[in-house]
Chains A and B, each alone.
Chain A
Amino acid sequence: MAAPKKGRSASAQSRPGRSLAFILIAIAALTGGMFLSGHPTPRLGIDLAGGTSITLTAKNEPGQPNAINQTNMNTAVDIMNRRVNGLGVSEAEVQTQGSDNIIVNIPKGTNSKEAREQVGTTAKLYFRPVLATEVSGSAASASPSPSASSSSSSKATDKATEKATSSSSASPTASATSQGRAVTDALKADSTPSASSSASSSASPSASSSASPSASSSASASAAATKLQAQYTALDCTDKAQRARAGEGSKASDPTVACGKNSSGQWQKYVLGPAEVRGTDIKSASAVFDTQSAAGWKVTMEFTSGGSKKFADITGKLAKNQSPQNQFAIVLDGDVVSDPFVQQALTGGSAEISGSFDQTEAQSLANMLKYGSLPLDFKESSVTTVTAALGGEQLHAGLIAGAIGLGLVVIYLVVYYRGLSIIAIPSLLVSGALTYVIMALLGPTIGFALNLPAVCGAIVAIGITADSFIVFFERIRDEIREGRSLRPAVERAWPRARRTILVSDFVSFLAAAVLFIVTVGKVQGFAFTLGLTTVLDVVVVFFFTKPLMTLLARRKFYASGSKWSGLDPKALGAKPPLRRTRRPSAPVDPKEA
């Protein structure tokens, strides 16, 4: 940066019009792009638009000094993202900041209290038996017609649905004898025979209540089954909103429906039994590479003593079933993250999940299992709620302050630089326009949001932008004082001014860049704006101020050094050769050199 390019200066010198045209076209194009993108104003940050901003800081836990790392932070962001957007919040954003912070921004108009509770709390992780499953979306068309002829569909995955559908149509009279009905069967299976083996673990009152199914319990079970069936039928996992609502409000002890992605990346929907094992039952989990059987990555789990008993029970039970009922689903916050098959009862207090994992998948699953939820513990560092009214007021005040500051600068420039302010003021305006347009464009592209510190940064940048042409103008004036006429003065002043501008802007940019990378929170938005405006300053000086100066230097008004041009040699005190004696102005200075 310190070494300015020769070539550019030459072209700017000889073809100022081209540079001017270039920057004007660039502005026009950017502005056009801005309107085309449909975001004609910069995206406002939470502190200006109103809303809630929560900063969560990861806590270091004893014995796990390396737990706070990029992978875990990203997993946490994923999980939190799922949670806030599961609230039906649109445009809530979750992002990491610095090495150990997560910022959750929730725009105004949403239930921030609920969001706060959701975001920070530990997630709910359950192991539930799979009662039925199918690929969602495409197959859904088969289910709405409750035709009694279950033979109409021959697809294996549809089997459960079809049967279940027929059962749902017949449900008012549902009796224990209707055979092959996936949901009701499974429910019954859970509430009757299995009560002896595992009901204690799930602590479901209805399940443990009756060893022999009484009429009432079977009736309620079938009513619940009907509801569940309806839910399951209607569920389309490819729809985001539906996914978020799936299984909403269901208790751990009740069956539920859920969505999850299968290994081929398709959405799969599930009917799941009551939770058998909870996230808290898992002592640890890790991703390991299976070197023996070369089966690739797998996840191993260790259970607590209570957990291993529950796990042994459920696996023993599931292993006897047919597919898909020999699967259990690992459900995190209502989403199925994994649905491993059970081959045998696992009693050792440890288990492994194998499948076609790659390393990242295995590790992320292990993390979810290990921490029950978030891979890290978080605490709220700051919570800011801003009503849109106050945010707007602050923005307003900031803009007024900026406008007044700009106005004062303009007045100062006009008074001091007179005709030159015709260059200075448009330079400021071009710089301002570019800043605005780019900020607006960066909103949708990189998620830049204008917050209050950024507004401050932009206002402060007025000074930095103005300084560039002050340096240039002063150089030109120095040349004129040497007795040069304007055009050579401009060309001589430029290389020197250019170097000064580049060197000092580089320092400014360096400061902004370091701050942006290192710091967190409010400082970051400020640093970004400062860096952006510094870069734009260089662009404006090179492609606008200098070419305009070159062009205007050809005009008689400036070249002749008119009194109002700001370049009047007389007013500047240029010395004509042998102008005068120097005596009067050479006072004796008795000090030593």
Chain B
Amino acid sequence: MSKLGTLGARLHRGEIGYDFVGKRKIWYGISILITITAILGLTVRGLNMGIEFQGGAVFTTGKTSVSVTQAETFAQNSSGHDAVVQKLGNGGLRIQVAGIDTDKSDKIKDELAKDLNVNTESINADLVGPSWGDQIANKAWEGLAIFMVLVVIYLAIAFEWRMAVAALVALIHDITITVGIYALVGFEVTPGTVIGLLTILGYSLYDTVVVFDSLKEQTKDITKQTRYTYSEIADRSINGTLVRSINTTVVALLPVAGLLFIGGGVLGAGMLNDISLSLFVGLAAGAYSSIFIATPLVADLKEREPQMKALRKRVLAKRAQAAAKGEPLETEVSDVMLDDEPEDDAPMVVGPRNQPASRNRGRGRPSGKRR
């Protein structure tokens, strides 16, 4: 704890910090690269759609001694279609047959039971018509669209439209990354995946909203001071909530990892695995996007406002002036913002020295290690 605790403390005081907003171009670049890769992967490789989207059946058997290749032959013989067979952790088999409709299933199930020498009752069958998966997916997209509209409205009211836009971009970004990874790695897309993806949306936004909340609070009286530009405060907010973001992501990922590696490991592929896999990918993407994309984007948008431009000019002018005098000036104005932090007299103690200009530019930067 102590290490993270001190890290938290230093982040909090701005002693250390990463210049997220300043280096945003790098992260935008990386994200655009990821997005392009994702789109390329999607168009070239496409998604590996599960049986639910093509129509077909998944049979899960209990413990059986029949080998995978044997089972494949059996399944192909009884259904007349290609079958994919996997061994499960519990000694059972998972047999996927695409392209059969629900009418034929009972017959196939009976034949399989005979071939595999197991009781018909011990075979689970999951049969889906070709449009059922699509329907789930379509409804999910519909839900997603409605959710996005509502969330944008909510964020625009609770915060402001720029944050709503940035959150939306981050959200779309998360979906793209997740879908891209699915396309590139070739994980199977099932309704479980869709569920996982939908959860990510809530979670990604949740994460973003926490950072935005801190940002909103810190920029409340921003125009009344001349120490920091909006971008710098944005950076402070990210750094200030960084420990929380790390903790939350770790705490959220732990159960999902349990679900993925233990729950999924025991049963082989299945709903548990599908959901947890997309959650795992998506949670990581969500944490990334709220820090590296959403907040820098808000800062970017905000800096276009005339008010913020003016502020920036004032801040820079002040700094230039200070640099010219070689005097740090922030003590006069610093209590305007972040009023909850007690004033720190330290600058007066160490302050005046003939510093190079860079020293003073460094002062007052949010990531700039001091306040």
Chain A residues near B (Cβ < 8 Å):
2, 47, 55, 57, 98, 101, 113, 379-387, 389-390, 393-394, 397-398, 400-402, 404-406, 408-409, 412-413, 415-418, 452-453, 455-457, 459-460, 462-464, 466-467, 470-471, 474, 477-479, 481-483, 492, 496, 499-500, 503-508, 510-512, 514-515, 517-523, 526-527, 530, 566, 571-575, 577-578, 580-583, 585-593
In the A-B complex, the 5 residue pairs with the closest CB atoms: A573-B9, A405-B255, A463-B252, A511-B202, A405-B258
* B209 in contact with A504 (CB, 8 Å): yes
A508 lies within 8 A of B129 (CB) = no
Nearest-Cβ distance from residue B198 to partner chain A, whole angstroms: 6
Contact flag A402-B255 (CB < 8 Å), given A523-B136, A591-B19, A593-B365: yes
A387 touches B122 (CB 8 A): yes
**What are 8 A-B contacts with C-beta separation under 8 Å?**
A386-B124, A400-B262, A452-B271, A453-B195, A474-B241, A526-B199, A530-B202, A586-B15
**In the complex, what distance in Å separates the CA atom of A591 from the CA atom of B361?**
8
**CB within 8 A of A522: which of B8, B195, B207, B367?**
B195
The answer for the CA separation of A483 and B341 in the assembled complex, in Å, is 9
- Which residue of A47, A418, A515, A593 contacts B198 across the interface (Cβ within 8 Å)? A515
Interface contact A572-B251, CB-CB below 8 Å: no
Instruction: Determine the distance from Cα of A593 to Cα of B227 in the docked complex, in whole angstroms.
Output: 11
User: Besides A402-B258, A573-B8, 11 other CB < 8 A contacts?
Assistant: A387-B122, A390-B124, A452-B271, A463-B252, A492-B340, A510-B150, A514-B147, A515-B198, A526-B198, A585-B15, A592-B361
Bound complex: CA A405 to CA B194 (Å): 22
Q: Which A residues touch B103, using CB under 8 A?
A: 380
**Nearest residue, chain A, Cβ from B367:** A589
Question: By the criterion CB–CB under 8 Å, are B362 and A588 in contact?
Answer: yes
CB pair B266 A379 closer than 8 Å: no
Query: Taking beta carbons and an 8 Å cutoff, which residues of B are in contact with A?
Result: 1-2, 4-6, 8-10, 12-13, 15-16, 19, 22, 52, 60, 62, 90, 102-103, 105-106, 121-129, 131-132, 135-136, 139-140, 142-143, 146-147, 150-151, 154, 157-158, 191-192, 194-195, 198-199, 201-203, 205-207, 209-210, 213-214, 217, 229, 231-232, 240-241, 243-244, 247-248, 250-259, 262-263, 266-267, 270-272, 275-276, 279, 315-316, 319, 340-342, 344-347, 349-350, 358-359, 361-365, 367-370
B127 CB contact (under 8 Å) in A383, A492, A506, A578: A383
User: What is the bound-complex CA distance between A457 and B271, given in angstroms?
Assistant: 12
- Cβ-defined contact, A382 with B195, below 8 A: no
- Set of chain A residues within 8 Å of B345, measured between Cβ atoms: 577-578
Q: Across the two chains, which residue of chain B brings its CB closest to A462?
A: B255
Q: Within the complex, which residue of A496, A574, A582, A593 is in contact with B232, where a contact is CB–CB below 8 Å?
A: A593
Given A397-B272, A416-B1, A416-B4, does the pair A578, B349 have CB atoms closer than 8 Å?
Answer: yes
Whether the Cβ atoms of B262 and A404 lie closer than 8 Å is: yes
Cα–Cα, bound, A593→B365 (Å): 7
A389 adjacent to B122 (CB under 8 Å): yes
Q: Is the CB of A591 within 8 A of B1?
A: no
Docked pose: A463 CA to B217 CA in angstroms: 25
Q: Would B368 and A589 count as touching, CB distance under 8 A?
A: yes
Cβ A586 vs Cβ B369 within 8 A:
yes
Chain A residue with Cβ nearest B17: A589
A474 near B128: Cβ-Cβ < 8 Å: no
The residue on A at minimum CB distance from B148 is: A514
Assembled-state Cα–Cα distance A518/B135 (Å)? 11
Smallest beta-carbon distance B149→chain A, Å: 9
A415 cross-chain contacts in B, Cβ below 8 A = 1
Write the chain A residue with the least CB distance to B229: A593
DSSP majority for the A interface? helix
- Set A402, A457, A483, A581: member contacting B346, Cβ < 8 A: A581
Q: Which residues of the partner chain B approach A508 to less than 8 Å between Cβ atoms?
A: 202-203, 205-206
- A507/B255 in contact, CB under 8 A: no
B contact residues around A583 at 8 Å (CB): 350
Highest count of chain B CB atoms <10 Å: which of A385, A401, A409: A401
* Contact indicator B213/A499 (Cβ below 8 Å): yes
> Which of A504, A566, A588, A591 gathers the greatest number of chain B CB atoms within 10 Å?
A504
A520 nearest CB neighbor, chain B only: B139
A385 near B191 (CB under 8 angstroms)?
A: no
Check if A496 sits within 8 Å of B150, measured CB to CB. Answer: no
> Once the chains are docked, how many angstroms separate the CA of A453 from the CA of B195?
8
Asked if A566 and B151 make an inter-chain contact with CB atoms under 8 angstroms apart, the answer reads no
Q: A385-B125, A456-B276 are in contact. Are A504 and B213 (CB under 8 A)?
A: yes
Given contacts A383-B127, A401-B262, contact A478 B248 (CB under 8 A): no
Contacts of B195 in A (CB 8 A): 453, 456, 522-523, 526
Q: Is the CB of B250 within 8 A of A412?
A: yes
Q: Which residue of chain B has the shortest Cβ distance to A515 in the bound complex?
A: B143
A593:B132 contact, CB within 8 angstroms: no
Residues of A within 8 A of B140 (CB): 515, 519, 523
CB atoms of A571 and B2 under 8 A apart = yes
Interchain CB contact (< 8 A) of B142 among A57, A477, A518, A580: A518
Which chain A positions have C-beta within 8 A of B139?
A: 98, 518-520, 523
Most central of B191, B199, B346 by chain A CB within 10 Å: B199
Tell me which residues across on chain B come within 8 A of A47, comparing CB atoms: 271
Assembly CA distance A455 to B259 (angstroms): 10
From A390, A415, A479, residue with most partner B Cβ within 10 Å: A390
Given contact pairs A397-B263, A459-B256, A511-B201, A496 touches B217 in the complex (Cβ within 8 A): yes
Residues on the B chain within 8 Å of A389, using CB: 62, 122
CB–CB B146/A456 < 8 A: no
